[in-house]
Structure 1
Amino acid sequence: MTVIANDPTPGSDDLWRWSATQLAHGIATGQVSAREVVQSCLDRIDAVNPRLNALIEVRPEEALEAADAADRETASGAELGPLHGVPVAIKVNSDQVGHATTNGVAAFKDNVASTDSPHVANLRQSGAILLGRSNTPAFSYRWFTNNDLHGRTLNPWDAARTPGGSSGGASSAVASGMVPIAHGNDIGGSVRYPAYACGVVGLRPTVGRVAGLYGPEGADPALSVQSMLVQGPLARSVADTRLALRGMTGADPRDPFHVPGAPAAPAAERPFRIAVVRDHGVATPTPAVDDALDRAASWLGDAGYVVEEVELPLLAEAYRLWYLLCMEEFRQIMPLVEEVGDEGMKKAAEGYYAVSAEWWGERPGLTDYMNGYARRGTLIRQLGEFMQRFSTVLLPVSAEQAFEQDADIASVESMRRVMAAQASMMAIPVLGFPALSVPTGITDGLPAGVQLLGRRFGEDGILDAAEVIEARAGTFTPIDPH
């Protein structure tokens, strides 16, 4: 394992290597200008994006104008937001004024937004420079980032492996140094898994923590989208993830599940107790994943956490339940997918339904659906009771390292393997608790990492634990594409 240092000193010519925390401080104190930072990131984009295709739209003049405005605001002595002058990428499934919300679908290429989604508006209000739009699979419904409109995004560690999805453009851009922070959203692992695949940090906040909307203004999102999907940041360090979460957080009446001013979870009693869930009974972790869990558990134990291996079978039940609640709602837009979706999305949907039919039947009925939501409430209660004893659960992000490209659509058997490996990607959104992925090292040339699941509104607790892991593991990005 090689730890790649990411600790530039002020005055470095490569401002794109600086952390978001360093950039925000440097801009606020006049050590560097926002224009210099944005220009450095634009130069980096020019150097690596043609190979990776992580950002599918960049408007240099617009970004530089925003940077100049930020510099004028700094000079005026005005109070600055937490991300003042820091470049951030926005996922192309979210509304950003003057940009098309394509969601990776060719038929949506002219859907230009007239307003910002709540999370985009909050990032702008926090001072972030919205530098580019990041790629996503069609309809944002795969763990592989490829679509007929924008093309395929590559993983900077290995082009033959997925950068994750659906926020694969975001993870690839952050890992390769195009931006220090990128926005993503997560209903089935779409922040946590791309972060894991590319060796960065990805946070899925508690449902209600960050105000946000999925898709274009005026749409009527499904109940699962309203109650399970969250907006969250990807960054190269835990400190930058904290900063990004702060910048994304703000009240907005457009999100029906947002909890304005949501308090942090009560502090856990010391000593902090960590439950290690190695295998939730769906897929056996590979040796690389097991090793990452062992290292993370050891480091947390060294820091004073009480670490205990346990079983948590409700995760397997929640995983299967996701495919009843979310995929049955998604079935309503399958006619649109058949009309305008690309072949990759259509094949992925076929695989999802083929495997989930083994649990729920070919066409689950209304009673199944209603009972599913009732059972969801019981599982949430059970996890809440479990976490009265443990402040954090340490578990795999995936049972494997980054999949080979298009592993989900190679066959139904391949999709079954991928779905099983991703069990916690689906279980946690059903339950609504916060979780993050944090790197632990590089194994066989690919990032390895772990997932931390916390108490509701307990983002600080899992970020604290992630900092313990990061302090021992180091950071691994930015990197040049391999």
Structure 2
Amino acid sequence: MKLTAMEIASRVRDGRLTASEVIDSHLDRIASVNPKVNAVTVTLESQARSAAAALDERIAAGEEPGPLAGVPITVKENIDLTWSATTSGLPFAAGNVPASNSSVVDRLLAAGAIPVGRGNMPDIGLRWDTDNDLFGRTVNPWDPARVPGGSSGGDAVAVATGMAAAGIGNDYGGSLRLPAHAAGIVALRPSAGRVPAPSKSVELLPLSIQHMAVNGPLARSVADLDLLFGVMHGADDFDPLSVSVPHYSSYDGVRRVAVTVDPAGWGVDPQVALAVRDAASALADAGWEVEEVAPPAVDRCAILWRQLSSTENAPMLLTPGVFPGPLSEGTVQYFQDNIAEVSLLDTSAAYQGAWAERFVHAAAWRAFHARYPVVLGPVITQPVPLIGFDLSGPEACTELWKSHRLLVTANFLGLPAVAVPTGMGGSRPSGVQVIARQNGEHIALAAARDIEAAFPAVTPVDPA
């Protein structure tokens, strides 16, 4: 359970380990640890053991096992995997077993990965915490009083505690990077369109989800993110927004970093600021040219992300009879409190104007990235919040959104970003994120590797 995905795949490929041994050890780890953290909603015991045995037979027969040979993964509850229901954390969807895997899952299975469980999430993934009425709360393994982040919190905690070598989640407003940061692991939010949708089924989705939400990997090393993304990316016949762009294994371009300690100048916790400056020093030591300079219009990007996501999603979720079933009280309260301090785009001119303004800011960031290929900043500007903070009123919802402003800026612009730990900040992990230009995943991963190399790994962790 301590081996990375690359280490597992290498050892399974050359016979030092069998896939069955790997899967058995991780299933044992789930049985031991998951009762303490409730990160894995469904343990896929029989299917995983069958898949491992079949892979071992293929290897014994001299067949190519794939780049992820025997790697145990979790799959978030809103990504289609025919081995169990796709519930999105909703009780009324408990029997919603998909007719086919998502294309992402098909690619991972073909590469030799083996799902061992499903990762918990909040109702339909639209909350920065991980709790729902179907499976209950996922526990932060570092501090049970604090949230594990969301919405891919179950997968992040499963990886951080050694129940899986990698997790597959998605990110609409930081939902990969935030829980990775809280758990002390790494995550990649790919560029918009680089990884296909979580289902092959055609759905009526708001424009903001279509253009700002992406599937991506969580792991315990940046090299694993690179490996997983190399399998996951590419256009898909079922997703009209997906694209095929070459993924490079290295980056030999301009090594210049824009450091933003306090994005938009809205305030930053001293411990968070220290983590950003420590990461900047690590990049400077690795040969990057580092400048403390603000990227353009983080304030407007964050405001527009909130306006668009609230305008499109809140009416659907809060209007009786529109959504196909009940949501948890926590999710309803969060959305009610959230929209209380949002200027909704309630005319067609305002809504169209927001999307038009997005183009202006995307162009400004494109020009900025031409000089600074990497933007380094906080994942969130305040400590990981205590449980219940997001349900303590409209002002708290606004404060939480402000602390996530650099997270949602990457979503708003469709940019790739990597969350990477910087050791421990007291009793909890600290970390940063690096944001690259569109389709510059290899650039963000290169910077993240150099940050990672400067700090000791803090996972896997045994929860209290």
Pairing 1:356–2:342 present = yes
Aligned equivalents of 1:265 and 1:427: distance in 2? Answer: 26
2:29 partner letter: R
8 Å contact 2:186–2:419 — kept in the other structure? yes
8 Å contact 1:275–1:307 — kept in the other structure? yes
Corresponding residue of 1:3:
none
Corresponding residue of 1:345:
331
Residues 70-469 of structure 1: pairs in structure 2 closer than 5 A: 70-213=55-198, 217-262=201-246, 264=248, 269-270=253-254, 272-281=255-264, 283-334=266-317, 335=319, 336=322, 339-357=325-343, 360=344, 364-469=346-451
Secondary structure of the 2:263 match is: coil
Secondary structure of the 1:281 match is: helix
The CA deviation at 1:262 is: 4.1
Aligned equivalents of 1:391 and 1:321: distance in 2? Answer: 24
The CA deviation at 1:266 is: 11
Output the TM-score relative to the length of structure 2.
0.96
Judging changes above 3 Å, is the alpha-carbon distance between structure 1 residues 98 and 129 closer, same or farther for their aligned structure 2 residues?
closer
Secondary structure of the 2:279 match is: helix
The range that moved more, 102-111 or 178-187, is 102-111
> Identity of counterpart residues, as a percentage?
39
The CA deviation at 1:246 is: 1.7
Aligned equivalents of 1:339 and 1:263: distance in 2? Answer: 40
Secondary structure of the 1:66 match is: helix
The CA deviation at 1:202 is: 0.7
1:196 partner letter: H
* Of 33, 52, 62, the match for 1:48: 33
8 Å contact 1:265–1:455 — kept in the other structure? no
Judging changes above 3 Å, is the alpha-carbon distance between structure 1 residues 253 and 220 closer, same or farther for their aligned structure 2 residues?
same
The CA deviation at 1:159 is: 0.8
The range that moved more, 347-356 or 139-148, is 347-356
Corresponding residue of 1:11:
none
Aligned equivalents of 1:384 and 1:90: distance in 2? Answer: 33
Aligned equivalents of 1:348 and 1:155: distance in 2? Answer: 20
The CA deviation at 1:129 is: 0.3
Pairing 1:38–2:57 present = no
Secondary structure of the 2:454 match is: helix
Structure 1, unaligned stretches of length 5 or more? 1-15
2:221 partner letter: S
2:125 partner letter: S
1:35 partner letter: S
- Output one character per residue of 1:401-427: Cα deviation in whole Å (capped at 9) or x when no partner: 211112111122221211110111211
2:226 partner letter: R
Secondary structure of the 2:100 match is: coil
8 Å contact 1:402–1:446 — kept in the other structure? no
The CA deviation at 1:175 is: 0.5
The CA deviation at 1:312 is: 2.4
1:371 partner letter: G
Judging changes above 3 Å, is the alpha-carbon distance between structure 1 residues 228 and 91 closer, same or farther for their aligned structure 2 residues?
same
1:92 partner letter: E
Aligned equivalents of 1:394 and 1:260: distance in 2? Answer: 26
Aligned equivalents of 2:249 and 2:367: distance in 1? Answer: 14
8 Å contact 2:263–2:294 — kept in the other structure? yes
The range that moved more, 311-320 or 228-237, is 311-320
Judging changes above 3 Å, is the alpha-carbon distance between structure 1 residues 308 and 414 closer, same or farther for their aligned structure 2 residues?
same
- Output one character per residue of 1:95-152: Cα deviation in whole Å (capped at 9) or x when no partner: 1114211101111111111101121111112111011100000111111100011000
Aligned equivalents of 2:249 and 2:401: distance in 1? Answer: 31
Give the RMSD, CA atoms, in angstroms.
1.7
Aligned equivalents of 1:420 and 1:118: distance in 2? Answer: 34
Structure 2, unaligned stretches of length 5 or more? none
The CA deviation at 1:218 is: 3.2
Aligned equivalents of 1:94 and 1:424: distance in 2? Answer: 26
Secondary structure of the 1:478 match is: coil
Secondary structure of the 1:355 match is: coil
Judging changes above 3 Å, is the alpha-carbon distance between structure 1 residues 83 and 263 closer, same or farther for their aligned structure 2 residues?
closer
Aligned equivalents of 2:265 and 2:292: distance in 1? Answer: 17
1:350 partner letter: Q
Aligned equivalents of 2:181 and 2:134: distance in 1? Answer: 25
